[in-house]
Structure formats: structure tokens, C-alpha cells
Amino acid sequence: MSTGLRIPDAALAALEGLINRYLALDPEGAHRLGTLQGRVFLIEVSGFGTPIYLIPGRNSIQLYGEYAGEPDCTLRGSPAALARLGLSSHREDQLFGGEVQVEGETDLAQALGELLGGIEVDWEEQLSRLVGDPIAHQVGSGLRSAERWGRHSAETLTRNLGEYLQEEARLLPSRNEIDAFLDDVDRLRDDVERLAARVARIARLRGDTGGER
Amino acid sequence: MSDHKTTHFGYQQVPAEEKASRVRAVFDSVADRYDLMNDLMSLGIHRLWKRTAVSLAGVRRGQRVLDLASGTGDLAERFAAIVGAEGEVVVTDINAAMLERGRSRLTDTGLAGNLRYAQIDAERLPFPDAYFDCITIGFGLRNVTHKQRALDEMYRVLKPGGRALVLEFSHPGNPALQKAYDLYSFTVLPTLGRLVAGDAASYRYLAESIRMHPDQETLRAMMEQAGFERCEYFNLTGGVVAIHRGYRL
């Protein structure tokens, strides 16, 4: 059993309740958890050594600070890497890029990441239960166009800001300048390696002719 | 008076054959408000005690679990989610009212398919030898007339490699805590019982039965006598509650 900073059981119980309430908002997504039902995952937050045992049920999960017996799959990583595993759309990067270490049945880790990342709450549907379909739909379309506008603005802003920093303020280098700089670094590295080889050869030659240091 | 003829019912001595019916009367009386009373009595901590029991049970997908004295089915609910469709959880109680309440509650939470229900006496388990991977009894053993007989039965129906867990009120080691706990259970508890469930006597019985229950070491010795191995106990909340675990090897 793992040792390390334990999360108080009351806090885990509360977290479990929160996650299950969130899962309940996407019943179809949560239902896919059933494929992993009863598998014991050990999630170890590196740096703290904090163990969390996660056991999926049919449409909910259970969390424990310890669990008798061996886990089917252990995930070990920094808090940020573990969070990205659940949230990002490129989970392979975290799993195979070495950010998250996986022991045991690795396909289970992949499946868990996909399931948790695949939970999508239909907020419009949730809202419609409170205020009815017509209003919920209006609010939904409003939010969607706001999101589109937001994304478009963000892209434009990023591009404009990039141009300003590179061309006007000259605070950041442009792509070409970076490439040239990287080429210089490569050349310098090769030169240093050649020089090192040369020094080594000379040293060996002096050694062969009987010279001591 | 010989030990065979009488047994304790709280602090009273009653004929052994009467205890079961008296316990039944207590639970008939409290069944409706049992969950609410548990929350009030333990300040909600009983949920954490049950979580700990589940984590110590270490049940896996596909296993067969017997939950004795299930009451409203808090343990069974967690086990059913873990064992999945290939597993099975047998939910039991000696009291029909409690069992019915548990069944309604579990069905209402959408749990069905891998749950079985049986009204049975823990002293006489209607199951073949070596049948279950895990057996739990949560806050039930102290109400059983012949506790040793119940432990013997649990051992009999357990598969080799299986484990039994007894979650039960126990005896706090710390004298100060013991004093506070006594005050709470003999003054606050019956009052709560009267106000919430309209039945002070039943809750006085609960408090008394906790005091008459064997302490940690005695219960461990009883489990060993039944044949369990690697017996150990875990004190929770300063020993107010203890979880005993033993394996059939």
C-alpha cells in the first residue's frame, strides 16, 4: 500500500460526491463508465506521494485513500499532467510522452482518460429543466455565438499581438530569426564536438609517444 | 442461571430464545427513521466508517459478497457498484421491515440485477460452504444472540482466500473519550430517539447493547476461535467503532 500524504477521508467523500454529481449531468457519457466497472485504479500524485484509489461503477465512481489488494492500473504524475490526462483531447501525449507513468494494464488508463475527457455536459438541457425549452434554447444560441465571437477575437488578438511584439516593438524574434539562431546553435555544437575529438586525438598521440601529462 | 439459558438484551438478562424477537421489536420500531437516526447519532460519521469498511474489504469486479444485517444497504450499495454485472451482492437482514426499506432504497437508486435479497438469521446461513469472496456485517453483530455461532457460520460460507469484516461499535481506549461517549449515549441518544423516532427505549437499548458488546481484543479472539486467520482490527474515531478483519486461508 502506498505511503505519502493522505487526503482526509471526509474530503475524498466530498470530492466523490462532487464528481458523481457532475457525471450525472451527462448520463450517456457516465454510462460508458460501465465498461471499466470494478477496475481498481491507483492515482499517485507525484511530489506528494498522495494515493487516490478510483473505482468506476456503472455510472458513478468511488474514491478511497486506500484499498485492500493490488490496483489493476497505476497512474503516476504531477498534478498538472494528471489533470491534462482527463481534460486534453491529446491524451496520448500525456500517456506516451512520459508525463504520466502507467503501470499495470495500460489500456485501462487510456480508456479512463477517454471516458473522463468524453464527459460533455449539455448545459442547455440542464437549463431547460429549470426554465423550459424556449428560453434555454435562446440562452444556448446566445452563448454559442458569444463563444464563436470570443474565439474569433482571441485568434485575431493573438495574431495582432504577435506582429506587434515581433515587428514593431522588436521584443520577440520572428520565425526567420529563430531559425537562424537555431542553426547557429547547431553549428556551434558541431564545432565543439569536433574540437573535443581533436583534443582527444592529440592527447592520445602524446600518450602513445610516451609523454606523461 | 446458566449461560445457555439467558443472554443480555442491553443491560437486562432475558431468555436466550427471546432476544431475537426483542431485537426485532426494536428494529421494527426504528426502521422508518433508521437512516436519519444514524446520521444524527453519529453526526454523519457512520458514512465514513462504512467507506473505511469498503476500502478494507477490497472487493473486486465479479466477486460474490454477502452483507449481513444490511439495514438500509449502505455497504451493499458500494459493493454492488464495484462487483458489476458479473458479480453478486446478497443483501440480508433478520428484520423484514429493515430489509424491505433497504430494498426500496437500493432499487430507487437504480441498483438492480446483481443484488439478491434474503431475510436470514446470521446464526444460520442458508448458503453452501465456501460460497462467498467477502462477508460483511455492519452494526449488526451485537444484536445477534449467539455471536460465536454467527462467526462460525461466516467462516463456513467463506471461500478460501475470502475475508470477513465486522464493523461494530466498540470500546474507546481513552478514558476521557469514554466518559464523553457515555454521557452522549445514555443522555443525548435516548432523547434524540424520543424526539426523532418517538421511541426512547429502543435507543437506550442500542446504547446498552454497545456497552455489552465484546471489546476489540475479545472479538478478535472470537474470530480466531471461529477459524479466521490474520485477524486484525482497525480502531476508528478513537475506538468508538472498530473494524475487525479476518481471512479464511
Cβ distance of A10 and B48 shorter than 8 Å = yes
What distance in Å separates residue B6's CA from the closest CA in chain A?
39
Choose among B46, B208, B235: nearest CA to B143.
B208
Cβ distance of B55 and A67 shorter than 8 Å = yes
- Residues of A in Cβ contact (< 8 Å) with B60: 38, 40, 69
- By CB atoms closer than 10 A (0-12, 13-18, 19+), residue B42 is middle
- How large is the average pLDDT for residues B125-137? 96
- Lowest mean pLDDT across A14-18, A209-213, B223-227: A209-213
- On the question of pLDDT at B202 being above 70, the answer is yes
pLDDT tens per residue across span B104-122: 999 998 888 899 999 999 9
**How much is the pLDDT for B194?**
82
Cβ distance of A65 and B85 shorter than 8 Å = no
**pTM of the shown model:** 0.76
**How much is the pLDDT for A143?**
80
**How much is the pLDDT for A161?**
82
CA-nearest residue of chain B to A56? B82
Cβ distance of B55 and A57 shorter than 8 Å = no
- How large is the average pLDDT for residues A172-183? 84
CA-nearest residue of chain A to B80? A57
Please report the sign of the dihedral spanned by the C-alpha atoms of residue A7, residue B235, residue B241, residue B76. Answer: positive
- How large is the average pLDDT for residues B139-160? 94
Choose among B85, B84, B87, B90: nearest CA to B102.
B90
What distance in Å separates residue A110's CA from the closest CA in chain B?
19
* Average pLDDT of chain A, as a whole number: 81
Cβ distance of B55 and A68 shorter than 8 Å = yes
Distances (CA, A) of A66 to A9, A152, B52: 10, 47, 9
What distance in Å separates residue B162's CA from the closest CA in chain A?
12
pLDDT tens per residue across span B1-60: 444 578 888 888 888 888 888 888 888 777 777 777 777 777 788 889 999 999 999 999
